[in-house]
């Protein structure tokens, strides 16, 4: 299979975005370019629901920029879509014809169900969650998606987004915008029958307002690791931010850290909508997803020959893709992982670690050497950086940070035990033949631990740098380590 480059254009009601995904010959994939333009199509809709000529020309200029950029990057397949503003426009056909004539791209207008479904695909393939209520606040609509057992159960699209809600209540005094919209959206949600009947433990938000909420919370907490995807904001904090931002003028909001000048005007509407929804489902926290519609479109293309566009395990799929991207030796990593998990389970009586640490050990063992892809010098540091900066999914923020620390060797007591077990697994993998991998041995006998079996290992270990490891192991676990032969 040749390398493909997929250009996805999302001509939205507020922001329009362009992303290029590369699919390599080995099946690995990743986004290699992103671009955003604030077109605000919904703002150019008149009272008769026509998007004005100025709005159409802004859309055309934006798409031309995306198309030229995609040509420079060698895009091989285009997926151009547009959403609520064009969907709701009385002159929809004129807009589509103008776009095709000027840009040579044929746009697909997504209906509300499709928009919600693609948002669901973007989330469910990148966040390890079984049941949730997903929401995507756009410029001219909000989609609600109920997920149960990782399957999409319900979808509804309401014609109220951050831009058109702001316009709808533009005659309300500025500092009352948020409260007025909050009450309005609370009523809209109360009229949805299935929404009144479900119980959820997870609320997951997509769209610019949700991502801005994460950035505001990052800045308030002074976090160094500012990954948005999977980040959680407490509902108490959401309420406090809503009250604060609702009391500020637009000029004051523009000066807030984490709030872009383009987002400041419509942010009260976005936060008001989130606040109304979170009050209906007081689960304690709100998770933010950076993945949404565009990622969903990509996954549908990527899995077009599969029975389902939903991965069975987010973490397993993501780790395999990660290994392919950074040329990890999968065969060696699998042997180390298998040995590490065997040792972890065998040593449970002395390490007192749980499933959280076992999961970290499993992922750590599978991807540890990824940093060699950057440079063999300081490869551990590069591995740590890649974990925090690349698209590794299926782990919480806390797990990603701990995994990064493990890769650098900067660990606390519990993580030190995980790191030591992994190092022991590497030693055993290097000394054991492929056949004897199935004959791993570990026995705890009083103050001693016997590990094996590998030919000549008792004589080899004292002659290598691994002899020092045995002393470290005893300090961490309080037991003396012995290697036994066949």
Residues 209-251 have pLDDT tens digits of 999 999 999 999 988 888 999 999 999 999 999 999 999 999 9
What is the predicted pLDDT for the residue at 485? 73
Pick from 460, 125, 162, 467: nearest CA to 315? 125
- Is 281:267 a contact under the CB 8 Å cutoff? no
Q: How far is CA 456 from CA 210, 431, 485, in A?
A: 59, 9, 6
Looking at 69-73, 174-178, 297-301, which range is the least confident one?
174-178
Residues 440-477 have pLDDT tens digits of 888 999 999 988 776 666 666 665 656 678 888 999 99
Q: How many residues would you count in the chain? A: 486
Q: Are 13 and 166 in contact (CB under 8 A)?
A: no
pLDDT for 15-52, tens place per residue?
Answer: 899 999 999 999 999 999 999 998 989 889 998 999 99
Tell me the average pLDDT of the chain.
93
Residue of 140, 174, 180 lying closest to 51 (CA atoms): 140
Q: List phi, psi (to 5°) of 143.
A: -105, 135
Cα 139 from Cα 242, distance rounded (Å):
18
Q: How far is C-alpha 350 from the geometric centre of its chain's CA atoms?
A: 35
- Rounded to the nearest angstrom, the gap between the alpha carbon of residue 440 and the centroid of all alpha carbons in its chain is 37
**What pTM was estimated for this model as a whole?**
0.94
| Alpha-carbon distance values, 78 to 7, 18, 240 (Å) | 5, 11, 42
Question: What are the tokens at 254?
Answer: 């523009």
Going from the N-terminus, what domains does the chain have, and what CATH number goes with each?
4-109 (3.30.420.40), 113-291 (3.30.420.150), 314-483 (1.10.3210.10)
The contacts found for 97-103 with CB under 8 angstroms, 24 or more apart, are 98/56, 98/60, 99/11, 99/59, 99/60, 99/63, 102/60, 102/63, 102/64, 103/60, 103/63, 103/64, 103/67
H or E element at residue 17: strand 15-23
Give residue-wise pLDDT tens across range 366-384. 999 999 999 999 999 999 9
Query: Is residue 293 scored above 90 in pLDDT?
Result: yes
- Residue by residue, DSSP assigns 181-213 as HHHHHHHHHHT-HHHHH---S-EEEESHHHHHH
Number of H helices, E strands in the chain: 22, 14
Note the Cα 448 to chain centre separation in Å.
44
In three-state secondary structure terms, 35 is strand
Cα–Cα dist 29/320, whole Å: 11
Q: Six-digit token pair at 72?
A: 């420079």
Q: Is the pLDDT of residue 438 over 70?
A: no
CB 107 within 8 A of CB 96: yes
3-state secondary structure 37-61: EECCHHHHECCCCCECHHHHHHHHH
Residue with tokens 């949404």, as numbered in its chain: 292
Comparing CA positions, the residue from 207, 56, 85 lying closest to residue 145 is 207
pLDDT for the residue numbered 413: 84
Q: Could you write out the DSSP letters of every residue in 422-479?
A: HHHHHHHHHHS-TGGGGG-EEEEETTEEEEE--TTHHHHGGGSTHHHHHHHHHHHHSS
Neighbours of 101 (CB within 10 A): 9
Residue 149 has pLDDT above 80, yes or no: yes
Per-residue confidence (pLDDT) for residue 303, from 0 to 100: 98
Over residues 333-364, the pLDDT tens digits come to 999 999 999 999 999 999 999 999 999 999 99
């Amino acid at each position: 299979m040749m390398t493909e480059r997929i250009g996805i254009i999302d001509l939205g009601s507020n922001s329009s975005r362009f992303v290029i995904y590369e699919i390599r010959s080995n099946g690995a994939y990743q986004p290699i370019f992103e671009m955003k333009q604030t077109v605000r199509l919904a703002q150019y809709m008149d009272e008769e629901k026509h998007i004005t000529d100025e709005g159409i020309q802004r859309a055309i200029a934006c798409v031309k920029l995306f198309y030229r950029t995609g040509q420079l990057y060698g895009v091989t397949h285009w997926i151009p879509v547009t959403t609520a503003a064009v969907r709701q426009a009385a002159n929809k056909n004129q807009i589509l014809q103008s776009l095709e004539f000027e840009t040579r791209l044929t746009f697909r207008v997504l209906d509300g169900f499709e928009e919600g479904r693609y948002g669901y695909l973007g989330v469910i393939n990148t966040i390890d969650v079984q049941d949730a209520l997903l929401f995507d606040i756009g410029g001219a609509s909000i989609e609600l998606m109920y997920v149960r057992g990782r399957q999409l159960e319900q979808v509804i699209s309401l014609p109220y987004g951050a831009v058109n809600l702001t316009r709808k209540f533009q005659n309300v005094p500025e500092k009352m915008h948020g409260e007025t919209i909050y009450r309005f959206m609370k009523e809209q949600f109360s009229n949805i029958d299935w929404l009144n009947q479900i119980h959820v433990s997870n609320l997951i938000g997509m769209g610019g307002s949700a991502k801005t909420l994460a950035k505001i919370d990052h800045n308030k907490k002074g976090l160094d690791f500012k990954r948005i995807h999977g980040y959680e904001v407490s509902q108490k904090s959401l309420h406090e931010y809503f009250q604060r931002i609702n009391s500020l003028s637009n000029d004051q909001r523009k000066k807030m850290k984490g709030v872009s000048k383009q987002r400041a005007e419509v942010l009260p509407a976005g936060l008001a909508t989130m606040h109304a929804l979170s009050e209906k489902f007081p689960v304690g926290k709100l998770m933010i997803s950076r993945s949404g519609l565009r990622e969903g479109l990509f996954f549908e293309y990527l899995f077009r020959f599969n029975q389902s566009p939903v991965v069975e395990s987010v973490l397993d799929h993501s780790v395999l893709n990660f290994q392919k991207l950074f040329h990890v030796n999968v065969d060696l990593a699998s042997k180390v992982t298998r040995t590490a998990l065997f040792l972890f389970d065998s040593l449970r009586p002395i390490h007192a670690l749980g499933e959280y640490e076992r999961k970290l050990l499993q992922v750590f063992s599978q991807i540890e050497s990824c940093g060699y892809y950057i440079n063999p010098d300081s490869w551990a540091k590069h591995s740590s950086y890649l974990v925090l900066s690349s698209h590794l999914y299926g782990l919480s923020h806390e797990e990603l940070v701990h995994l990064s620390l493990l890769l650098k060797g900067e660990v606390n007591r519990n993580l030190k035990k995980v790191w030591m077990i992994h190092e022991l697994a590497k030693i055993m993998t290097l000394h054991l033949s492929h056949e004897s991998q199935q004959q791993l041995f570990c026995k705890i006998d009083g103050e001693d631990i016997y590990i094996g079996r590998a030919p000549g290992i008792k004589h080899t270990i004292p002659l290598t740098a691994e002899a020092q490891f045995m002393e470290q192991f005893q300090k961490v676990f309080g037991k003396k380590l012995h290697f036994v032969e066949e």
